[in-house]
Amino acid sequence: MLLPRLCAPTRAAFAASRNPHTTSSISNTALEAIRCSNAAPATTILSFVRHATHQSEGRANGPKDGPGKRLGAKKTGEQYVIPGNIIFRQRGTLWFPGENCDIGRDHTIFATQPGYVKYYKDPLKHPKRQYIGVVFERHQTLPVPPNAARRRRLGMLAVKREDIEEAREDAVGDLVEGANSGEGMVRETPREDKVPQVVKTGNKELVMRPGYMYREANWQIGRAAEKKGVKVNKFDRGDRFTAWRKRNARKERNAESRRLRTKKK
Amino acid sequence: MCHLRAASPTPSFEEHADIQAGRETASDMFYLSATPQEAQVQQSASPAPSSPPPHISIRALRSEEKRLGKKGVPIVGSRRRRAALKTSSQIPFEQLPYQCFQEARKILQADREEKIHQIEVQRARIARLEAQDAAVSGGELYKKNRLDSMRRHLEELKILADINDPLIKKRFEDGLGNMNRPIYRYLADRKWRQYKRLILDQRITQHNIVPDVLPNMDPVADVDVAFSQRIVQPGDVVESRRTEKPPTLRVQVFDKGERLVTVAVIDSDVPNVEKDAFDFRCHFLACNVPLSPVTPSMPLGTMPKENVVLPWQPPFAQKGAPWQRMSVFILQQREGKIVDVAAVKENTERHGFVLRSFVDRHLLKPVGVGLFRSKWDEWTEGVMKRADIEGADIEFKRKKIEPLPYKKKDGARYR
């Protein structure tokens, strides 16, 4: 608190000592006089340093000639392509995707339909852009005239439906009498020629199956998990974590079996 | 929006008497309609105006509306507006005790008088020019152009005379506008263009209806497609059981006069395996259907037989096939030109029906379009069976595209 007030006289004394008119002016002129009287030739050394304005080292001035990126056309005009084939690799959009083509994240042009590659311009769509398209037949040309119906491909096959419920004869069990006549009476006991030979082992009933073996029926085997109360989570397409775990487990298994195989050898 | 708007009860207005009639109706400045018939309608639409029940379920309201609709009573305004009407003190406009409001009304009325005077003057001018010899008025073409522009101006004046009338606005918003009068047509057109037409335009472009089915089109009529009383939004996928019965169209045109139209329903995505492409199919075709601004309703199921070329076939998409775009076209015929239905019937087939060439052959002008889509669903099989359509047992599967042969590179080059 008291410091500024205490320091005030000292500051005044210091200021007085720095005044050039009072003390140092005399000494300065004296020194100059001595310099002038000294007639020795003055050696004037020009110490001229030019500092760098650009960095000469580092990343920016590295090798100019890097590895080529293998850009350019991968398919020529009229060449046959299938969906996913890369037609052109580029930096930026030198070419734009036209009919039946698309553009990737790094501006790669690729085909979305099987067909023949066409390089073309479409001034009605854009006056300056150049496009790559795919046509279905080789003789077809691009661009298509405006307001013409689009060329479209079905790309499908007609097959018989699998899920049709037909007149199911095989579904009629051996307890049903007159299945073909359509009456559908249920018998008290199964038909004699269909009476199975059963062997009981533990709590299981083993039946003589075709192939001359006693075993559970297929439907019983199929229901084993249900009986045991095994809970299977429903497949969820979006559950990537489970997918990842399963994939890794499968890879592990495969690697393990491979290892075993090599050991055997 | 789920009800088709009923046609106006008094359709027979003459065009030139419109303004006169309008002046008379403008004088009845009751908030509710003054004519006894309309008042009765109002009362039946709002059954208990004195004591509004505190809470009514939506279901009860809907069933009440349905009941009235079946009776043929037009439902006025929105539910909110009807509820507001019930509680409001229904004082006529002239007796409202707001001085500024009354002064404003006076200004509007004076403006209307002025516009009506201008209309009379314009009509006299048109009559004079029509009577004049073409050589005097500067040639046949000049006279025609001049008359056209004068008539256009006359139409503008008719709209300007009525556009500021609060009663007209109210009647239009209640859905009671008489579509014979230009002002109501103008308001309806404006309302359609503000929202519904924009949506329709977007759907036409998105679904490529325009290059695929017709080369170009400029919709000028509002088309609603309704299956069993329910309007389908343009481009919606509709269940096949709903589309089994023919739809009812509501085609609102906004220009005066009666005209004949052709109605066509086209499926533009019929799979053709041999060609590995898509075909067209016509699901309905009718010619010479009369249409005017006051008769918008067009039930396809009950059309007279002499108009129908191809009766309704329910739309269907086979299993696995991509969804099929169904487009309903309203094609205006040339004035006074009647399509020979018998001749068309002879050389028209459902499969492979190309609308472009049909339009060109009969000089039709597309004025309106409605869209919906159909897809294979659990009811399609039954629908196809009932309509005797084959092909329900077929399923479409994607064709495998053979990969290109892999060219093995010379290994030595890479060592």
Domains and their CATH numbers in chain A: 72-135 (2.40.50.100), 193-230 (no CATH)
Pairwise CB contact (< 8 Å): B398 & A152: no
Shared domain for B30 and B141, answered yes or no, is yes
Burial class of residue A229, CB neighbours in 10 A (0-12, 13-18, 19+)? exposed
The arithmetic mean of pLDDT across residues B45-67, rounded, is: 67
Pairwise CB contact (< 8 Å): B394 & A114: no
Mutate to test the interface with B, among A75, A82, A154 (most CBs of B within 10 A): A154
Calculate how close chain A gets to B61, using CA atoms only, in Å.
43
B1 within domain boundaries:
no
Among residues of chain B, what percentage have pLDDT more than 70? 87
B183 within domain boundaries:
no
Residue B7 clears pLDDT 60, i.e. is over it: no
Tell me, what's the pLDDT at A185? 57
Q: Of B211, B278, B393, which has the smallest distance from its Cβ to A161's Cβ?
A: B393
| Whole-prediction pTM | 0.68
Evaluate whether B207 touches B213 at the Cβ level (below 8 Å): no
Shared domain for B224 and B93, answered yes or no, is no
Tell me, what's the pLDDT at B180? 94
| Cis-peptide into B36, omega within 30 deg | no
CA distance A215 to B50: 83
Evaluate whether B333 touches B344 at the Cβ level (below 8 Å): no
Residue B4 clears pLDDT 60, i.e. is over it: no
Residue A248 clears pLDDT 90, i.e. is over it: yes
Chain A contact for B177, CB < 8 A?
A: no
Shared domain for B280 and B331, answered yes or no, is yes
The arithmetic mean of pLDDT across residues B333-352, rounded, is: 94
Q: Of A85, A147, A151, which has the smallest distance from its Cβ to B215's Cβ?
A: A147
Which residues in A lie closer than 8 A to residue B403 (C-beta atoms)? 82
Pairwise CB contact (< 8 Å): B397 & A152: no
What is the rounded average pLDDT for all residues in chain A?
80
pLDDT in tens, B65-96: 888 888 877 788 788 888 888 888 778 888 88
Calculate how close chain B gets to A117, using CA atoms only, in Å.
15
Shared domain for B220 and B165, answered yes or no, is no
Shared domain for B59 and B155, answered yes or no, is yes
B189 within domain boundaries:
no
Shared domain for B92 and B158, answered yes or no, is yes
Which residues in B lie closer than 8 A to residue A155 (C-beta atoms)? 276, 398-399, 401
Residue B398 clears pLDDT 80, i.e. is over it: yes
Task: Return the number of CB contacts < 8 Å for A and B.
Answer: 72
- Distance from chain centroid for Cα A65: 29
Q: Give the least confident one: A50-59, A138-147, A241-250.
A: A50-59
Tell me, what's the pLDDT at A173? 47
Q: Give the least confident one: A208-222, B230-244, B278-292, B294-308.
A: A208-222
B317 within domain boundaries:
yes
B94 within domain boundaries:
yes
Shared domain for B236 and B354, answered yes or no, is yes
The arithmetic mean of pLDDT across residues B323-339, rounded, is: 95
Pairwise CB contact (< 8 Å): A154 & B211: no
Q: Strands, DSSP E only, in A187-239?
A: 198-201, 204-209, 213-215
pLDDT in tens, A5-36: 555 555 555 555 555 454 444 556 666 666 65
Shared domain for B156 and B295, answered yes or no, is no
Shared domain for B283 and B161, answered yes or no, is no
How many structural domains is chain B composed of? 2
DSSP track, B150-209 = HHHHHHHHHHHHHTT-HHHHHHHHTT---TTSHHHHHHHHHHIIIIIHHHHHHHHHHTTH
Tell me, what's the pLDDT at A171? 45
pLDDT in tens, B362-391: 999 999 999 999 999 999 999 999 999 999
Range of the domain at B238: 200-386
Shared domain for B162 and B239, answered yes or no, is no
B4 within domain boundaries:
no
Q: Which amino acid is at B250?
A: R
CA distance A156 to A158: 7
Calculate how close chain B gets to A48, using CA atoms only, in Å.
57
Shared domain for B288 and B350, answered yes or no, is yes
What is the rounded average pLDDT for all residues in chain B?
86
CA neighbours closer than 13 Å in the CB half-sphere of residue A238: 0
Q: Which amino acid is at B17?
A: A
More confident: A55 or A255: A255
The arithmetic mean of pLDDT across residues A120-127, rounded, is: 95
User: Please, what is the angle between helix B182-191 and helix B140-162, to 10°?
Assistant: 80
Q: Of B276, B393, B402, which has the smallest distance from its Cβ to A160's Cβ?
A: B393
Calculate how close chain A gets to B404, using CA atoms only, in Å.
7
Q: Give the least confident one: B56-60, B286-290, B346-350.
A: B56-60
The arithmetic mean of pLDDT across residues B256-264, rounded, is: 96
B45 within domain boundaries:
yes
Shared domain for B219 and B289, answered yes or no, is yes
Closest chain B residue to A84, measured at CA = B403
Calculate how close chain A gets to B393, using CA atoms only, in Å.
5
B252 within domain boundaries:
yes
Assign residue B254 the CATH number of its domain. Answer: 3.90.280.10
Q: Of B277, B392, B397, which has the smallest distance from its Cβ to A157's Cβ?
A: B397
In angstroms, the first-to-last Cα distance of chain B is: 74
Which residue from B351, B372, B208, B364 is spatially nearest to B286, judged by alpha carbons? B364
Q: Give the least confident one: A209-223, A243-257, B201-215, B382-396.
A: A209-223
